[in-house]
Amino acid sequence: MEIPDSLSDRFPFLEALSEQWEPVSRRALVGWVIFYVVLLGNAIFHGTLLQWFDLVFLPIHEGGHLLFRFFGEWMTVVGGTFLQLFVPFALAVYFVLKRQSAGATFSAFFFFEQFLPIGIYMADARCECLQYVTVGDAENAEHDWFYLFSHLGLLEHDTQIGSIVRVLGWIGMIGTIAWFAWRSWRNA
């Protein structure tokens, strides 16, 4: 990919996009694809394997609430989901700039995978049936998506929005794996 000089002068990190991707061996490619297929299969059949990975994102989500609390109540609530998605997204960008497809794929896969629990949480806004974890006083804690959808006038659409987010997560995960397989096979 050729970067125009004017852009590379203003944004030197874009120069990395003109470099070749690091190769992935066929053996590593097969191993990674098996790993992702196991995770996808586990999610399809409502297994608990992805829940172990989601436990990594729980403190990131809760930390987002704490990090953004200085910007008001709205940002405090949004901050949890924002940081939950920003961390794997930022890591994916880092690995793209380093031209490391395995790292970019892993990070992008988990960026999109987080759409699944977020979609479930969104769909629970009216019901508030899920047991959730919070930082601080659990007695006065409010469901993130009840708060957000109520303020946006979207509360009655919680299940539809949650379903759309989950579908986007599935599309993203499958697309990420397909890109990785294509990129790795092509470069091997």
Q: Single out the residue of 29, 21, 28 nearest to residue 181, CA to CA.
A: 29
> What pLDDT shows up at residue 98?
96
- Give the CA angle between residues 49, 52, 53 to the nearest 5°: 100
- Name the residue with tokens 């949004």: 78
Q: Give the model's confidence band at 139: pLDDT under 50 very low, under 70 low, under 90 confident, else very high.
A: low
- Dihedral (CA of 26, 30, 32, 37) sign: positive
Q: Single out the residue of 5, 22, 2, 33 nearest to residue 181, CA to CA.
A: 33
- Name the residue with tokens 């990785």: 180
Q: How far apart are CA 14 and CA 86, in angstroms?
A: 20
In tens, the pLDDT along 85-126 reads: 999 999 999 999 999 999 999 999 999 999 999 999 999 999
SS (H, E, C) 128-153: CCCCCCCCCCHHHCCCHHHHHHHHHC
- Name the residue with tokens 């949890």: 80
**What contacts 19, CB < 8 A, 6 or more positions away?**
99
First-to-final CA distance of the chain = 19
In tens, the pLDDT along 10-64 reads: 776 667 788 899 999 999 999 999 999 999 999 998 888 878 888 899 999 999 9
C-beta separation of 116 from 43 below 8 A = yes
Indicate the pTM of the whole model: 0.90
- Tell me how crowded residue 154 is: count the other CB atoms within 10 A of its CB: 15
Average pLDDT of 171-188? 93
Q: How far apart are CA 91 and CA 104, in angstroms?
A: 7
